[in-house]
Amino acid sequence: MITIIHESKQKARKNYPCDACNFLFEMDNADTLTFTEKRAVVKARSNKNILKGQEYVRQFNCDDSGNAWTFRAIPEIHEICMKLKLYYEY
């Protein structure tokens, strides 16, 4: 089980890879997305990064075995992943 210790929205000071993109791009059922969500996916596919100055979701997570990490995601992509329950804790 994954525990979110802290979550915030930040402005990127440099480019970061979008961790939510990894989950989303493995998905096959794009027909469940709205037009706006599909547009966000196309935009994310072209870059796959959080760009400097862009707002992003930052989480500090921990799992049952004590591993801790920072998760960074484009907010729109993060929302799509949560809606479709693509993350491991679901």
- Secondary structure in 3-state letters for 66-84: CCEEEEEECHHHHHHHHHC
Residue 90 confidence (pLDDT) above 50: no
Q: Give the pLDDT confidence of 37-70 residue by residue, as tens digits.
A: 989 988 888 888 999 999 999 999 999 999 999 9
Q: 85 falls in which pLDDT band (50, 70, 90)?
A: confident
Distance (Å, whole) CA 22 – CA 27: 9
Identify the residue with better confidence: 84 or 57: 57
Single-letter code of the amino acid located at 8 = S
Q: Give the pLDDT confidence of 5-26 residue by residue, as tens digits.
A: 999 999 999 999 999 998 888 7
Distance (Å, whole) CA 24 – CA 36: 15
Query: CA torsion 22→84→55→18, rounded to 10°?
Result: 0
